[in-house]
Amino acid sequence: MDFNLTQDQKMVRDMVREFAMNELEPIAAEIDESREFPHASMKKMAKLGLLGVVIPEEYGGAGMDFTTLAIIVEEISRVCASTGVITAVNNSLAAYPIYHFGTEEQRKKYLPLITSGKSLGAIGITEPNAGSDPASMETTAVLDGDHYVLNGTKCWITNAEGAGVFVIFAYTDAAARHKGMSAFIVEKDFPGFSIGKHENLMGIRATGNTELIMDDCKVPKENLLGEEGGGFKVIMHTLDVSRIDIGAQGVGIAQGALDAAVKYSKEREQFGKPICEFEMIQDMIAEMATQIDAARLLVYRSASMKDAGAKRFTREAAMAKYYAAEVVVDVTRKAVQIHGGYGYSKEYAVERMYRDAKIIEIYEGTSQIQKIVIARNELR
Ligand code: CAA
């Protein structure tokens, strides 16, 4: 296994790091407070090719690999977890399934919209009664002439406020359970489609997270994504890909927290010397750095498997996501601890990072779901 990044990957990492420091970091606290979706940042990111990283150039993408996408999500999340997950969702939960499962017409019509940022992408899987168990979703799609008619409500939809193109899942045959679910590409302006209440979240607050409501929503027949009845496999494969990026988001937040803790520990003096000279602080810093490196290696491993063309990397993506979640919650807690009372205040970014970290244990499959996936693979 090659642990070195390629020249291209290093170049993209440095470019995104500079962009994130100059453009995203200065507004991260502000958008966390206001919950304002970062439309202006998205326009800038589109120009840099960050909204269609793995999508081939013929569809407006940057034609790069999945490891580079993980690096980009990490670098952005290091300074702004909201913008990090908006990037991850747009790339791996919206553009990727349309590219991977879509027809040529669907690719040509929708990918340039998503990659250019004209219409960002989002995905609608979760419902009020279907979280860890997406097969229990209640949204239905009934074929009526040349349209499907969708009815149902989706919730906790990241990017919803900023998006124009949604990948939505519904039952075309509820009795067939996993084999009766289908995926659809739904435009924001389709009749019967509307955005519901804007959630007031604990962290990742600027992600435009809302409900989606489909009330006799008319979706053209040609917007079926993949085969009728193939929707559950679209969800599972897409989540395998995007869990790599949520792992990367966790690594990025954790790295940002470690950087802040190291800086603060050198500046803050107690008992007549900088607190970084105390071994209990060094103990925490050593643990944080090691945890982050281990999580990053798991993220890179799963991304490089996808890059190498592996058909299944379910276990490795689940491990990366699960472990990065453990790490980011622990590392941000330690970063707040190193900052003491100041870390508990909004004056310091680690307060926001600690709140942002928690979601990594929850979305795109809770840590308990990742463990089920990993254990099922071990027991097979
Ligand atoms: N790739 C391809 N196929 C897969 C698969 C994968 N990774 N995992 C399962 N399948 C297939 C199985 O082979 C099986 O196929 P057959 O019927 O042909 O045998 C079928 O799918 C059903 O599989 P299971 O019996 O394993 O399904 P299950 O109902 O027990 O569920 C689960 C498995 C892992 C628990 C799954 O439900 C799961 O991942 N749950 C978590 C849901 C989740 O992550 N939601 C996140 C929402 S999106 C989000 O969070 C976005 C955001 O905000 C940013």
Provide the pLDDT for residue 2.
Answer: 76
Last residue of a domain, which of 86, 120, 154? 120
Assess whether pLDDT exceeds 90 at residue 1. Answer: no
Q: Does residue 89's CB lie within 6 angstroms of at least one atom of ligand 1?
A: yes
SS (H, E, C) the chain: CCCCCCHHHHHHHHHHHHHHHHHHHHHHHHHHHHCCCCHHHHHHHHHCCCCCCCCCHHHCCCCCCHHHHHHHHHHHHHHCHHHHHHHHHHHHHHHHHHHHHCCHHHHHHHHHHHHCCCCEEEEECCECCECCCHHHCCCEEEEECCEEEEEEEEEEECCCCCEEEEEEEEECCHHHHHHHEEEEEEECCCCCEEEEEECCCCCCCCCCCEEEEEEEEEEEHHHEECCCCEHHHHHHHHHHHHHHHHHHHHHHHHHHHHHHHHHHHHHCEECCEEHHHCHHHHHHHHHHHHHHHHHHHHHHHHHHHHHCCCCCCHHHHHHHHHHHHHHHHHHHHHHHHHHHHHHHCCCCHHHHHHHHHHHHHCCCCCHHHHHHHHHHHHHC
Query: Is the domain of 222 the same as that of 350?
Result: no
Provide the pLDDT for residue 3.
Answer: 81
Query: Is the domain of 133 the same as that of 111?
Result: no
CA 183 / ligand 1 centre spacing (Å) = 14
Q: Does residue 134's CB lie within 6 angstroms of at least one atom of ligand 1?
A: yes
Query: Is the domain of 236 the same as that of 373?
Result: yes
Q: Does residue 369's CB lie within 6 angstroms of at least one atom of ligand 1?
A: yes
Residue 212 placed within a domain = yes
Going by pLDDT thresholds of 50, 70 and 90, the confidence category of residue 15 is: very high
Q: Does residue 172's CB lie within 6 angstroms of at least one atom of ligand 1?
A: no
pLDDT in tens, 342-371: 999 999 999 999 999 999 999 999 999 999
Nearest residue (by CA) to ligand 1, atom 44, is 365
Last residue of a domain, which of 231, 251, 279? 231
Overall domain count for the chain: 3
Q: Does residue 240's CB lie within 6 angstroms of at least one atom of ligand 1?
A: yes
Listed range (1-15, 169-183, 200-214, 366-380) with the worst mean pLDDT: 1-15
Query: Is the domain of 195 the same as that of 237?
Result: no
Quote the percentage of the chain above a pLDDT of 90: 99
* CATH number of 158's domain: 2.40.110.10
Both tokens of residue 201? 């979240």
Provide the pLDDT for residue 10.
Answer: 98
Residue 2 placed within a domain = no
Query: Is the domain of 205 the same as that of 340?
Result: no
The whole-chain average pLDDT of the chain stands at 98
What mean pLDDT comes out for the span 196-225?
98
Query: Is the domain of 227 the same as that of 241?
Result: no
Query: Is the domain of 96 the same as that of 192?
Result: no
Provide the pLDDT for residue 97.
Answer: 98
Q: Does residue 375's CB lie within 6 angstroms of at least one atom of ligand 1?
A: no
Going by pLDDT thresholds of 50, 70 and 90, the confidence category of residue 117 is: very high
Query: Is the domain of 251 the same as that of 214?
Result: no
CA 372 / ligand 1 centre spacing (Å) = 11
Q: Give CA–CA dist 325/251, Å, rounded.
A: 8
Q: Does residue 208's CB lie within 6 angstroms of at least one atom of ligand 1?
A: no
CA 94 / ligand 1 centre spacing (Å) = 17
Quote the percentage of the chain above a pLDDT of 70: 100
pLDDT in tens, 236-256: 999 999 999 999 999 999 999
Assess whether pLDDT exceeds 80 at residue 162. Answer: yes
Q: To test ligand 1's pocket by mutation, which of 86, 179, 236 has the most ligand atoms within 8 angstroms of CB?
A: 236
What mean pLDDT comes out for the span 208-218?
98
Of 374, 299, 294, 351, which is closest to residue 327 (Cα–Cα)? 294
The domain in which residue 239 lies consists of: 232-379
Nearest residue (by CA) to ligand 1, atom 26, is 373
**Which residues are the active-site residues?**
364
Q: Does residue 174's CB lie within 6 angstroms of at least one atom of ligand 1?
A: no
Query: Is the domain of 182 the same as that of 254?
Result: no
**From the alpha carbon of 240, which atom of ligand 1 is closest?**
7
Query: Is the domain of 181 the same as that of 84?
Result: no
Cα R_g (the chain), whole angstroms: 21
* CATH number of 28's domain: 1.10.540.10
**From the alpha carbon of 93, which atom of ligand 1 is closest?**
51
CA 215 / ligand 1 centre spacing (Å) = 26
Residue 292 placed within a domain = yes
Contact 21, 29 (CB under 8 A): no
Query: Is the domain of 249 the same as that of 157?
Result: no
pLDDT in tens, 275-326: 999 999 999 999 999 999 999 999 999 999 999 999 999 999 999 999 999 9
Beta-carbon contacts of residue 347 (< 8 Å; ≥ 6 apart): none
Contact 298, 308 (CB under 8 A): no
Query: Is the domain of 113 the same as that of 132?
Result: no
What mean pLDDT comes out for the span 49-78?
98
Last residue of a domain, which of 74, 98, 120? 120
Residue 1 placed within a domain = no
* CATH number of 243's domain: 1.20.140.10
